[in-house]
Amino acid sequence: MADRTALEQTVHSLYAARDANDLEGMLACLHPAFSFRIVGSGRLGAMTQRVSDPESVRSAFRGLVDAWDLSQMKTVQLDVDGSTVYAHRVGPIRFVPSDTWFDTEILDRFSFSDGRMADLTEFVDTLLVAETVGLVAMPAIAVDYSSSTRDSISL
């Protein structure tokens, strides 16, 4: 069985590197066979396609670091089940190219192998992301998404 404290520390190290836009620090947390995917419809294209070879992972992480500022998000809950860690994060994020801020939630599922992250499956509001980056049209009428379920969700 994996050491809970070590797994949690690795997750915190990845998030700290992410907040600092430290790509090399992020990659240092990863197993050589690491894979990554944002969950969503394949119709969203590359955004939801699994990447697994080291150069594709580096490129995907570089793109995310360059486009999205997550430094204001807070980890509100970490749960460890064997060699899997679930992280619930909430807070404001910024789409850097347009300097657009919005509040959201992210749920990350990390699978570990040999003490390193072997897989990250990320659950985000893909509609909000697709609207923000221009993959789908924004609604003609402003919609207030601020009434979130985050206050009532418990993992």
Taking only the tens place, the pLDDT of each residue in 94-113 is: 999 999 999 999 999 999 99
| Long-range contacts (CB closer than 8 Å, 24 or more residues apart) made by 46-51 | 47/126, 47/129, 47/130, 47/133, 47/135, 48/126
The predicted structure's pLDDT at residue 151: 53
Confidence tier at 140 by pLDDT (50, 70, 90): low
122, pLDDT greater than 90: yes
Write down the pLDDT at residue 43.
Answer: 80
Average pLDDT over residues 1-15: 92
Confidence of residue 30 (pLDDT cuts 50, 70, 90): very high
pLDDT band at 32 (very low <50, low <70, confident <90, very high): very high
Sketch out the chain's domains with CATH numbers.
4-133 (3.10.450.50)
Coil, strand or helix at 139? coil
pLDDT at 121: 98
Average the pLDDT over 6-14 and give the result: 97
